[in-house]
Amino acid sequence: MANLLVVDDEIEICDFLRNFFSEKGYLVSFATNGEQALIQSRQQHPDLVLLDVRMPGISGLEVLHRLRMEDNPPKVVMITAVEDREVIEEAKRLGAEDYILKPFILDYLNSVVLRKLTTILH
């Protein structure tokens, strides 16, 4: 069973994505800030992190940078309302697997998650 970590400062998005992916059979946890995300990642070793860019405290880009420095880092897909070419390029430079804009289409998000996890689990 794949392990996902959803990181977003909007609790409604965390709950929504947790419910959506749990129904698909994934083990899903969430964090509402960067500090919490880093702690949970070290404890739970998620296969994939769905990570917001703009959060109070540690930004999503900084969380991405720190996650990529860990041993056996998780794959990271950025999910955000920020449509800024420089931010997108920075996220990809830091190792983001993909960058999905909010509001996202669930079928598309699910297909991206499935593709990323398939490369891990096979």
Tens of pLDDT along 35-65? 999 999 999 999 999 999 999 899 999 999 9
Mean pLDDT of the chain: 93
More confident residue, 111 or 122: 111
The architecture CATH gives domain 3-121: 3-Layer(aba) Sandwich (3.40)
Structure tokens of 102? 């909010």
- As a 3-state breakdown, the chain gives helix, strand, coil percent values, each rounded to 5, of 50, 20, 35
Domain ranges of the chain: 3-121
Question: Strand, coil or helix: what is 31?
Answer: strand
The CA-to-CA distance between both ends of the chain, in Å, stands at 12
pLDDT band of 86, cuts 50, 70, 90: very high
Q: Which residue has the tokens 């999910």?
A: 79
Decide if pLDDT at 119 tops 80.
no
Q: What is the pLDDT of residue 28?
A: 98
For the residues 86-109, what does the mean pLDDT come to?
A: 93
Q: What is the pLDDT of residue 50?
A: 98
pTM: 0.94
From 3-17, 31-45, 48-62, 80-94, the region with the lowest mean pLDDT: 80-94
Share of the chain above pLDDT 70, in %: 98
Q: What is the distance between the alpha carbons of residues 54 and 85, in angstroms, rounded to a whole number?
A: 15
Decide if pLDDT at 121 tops 70.
no
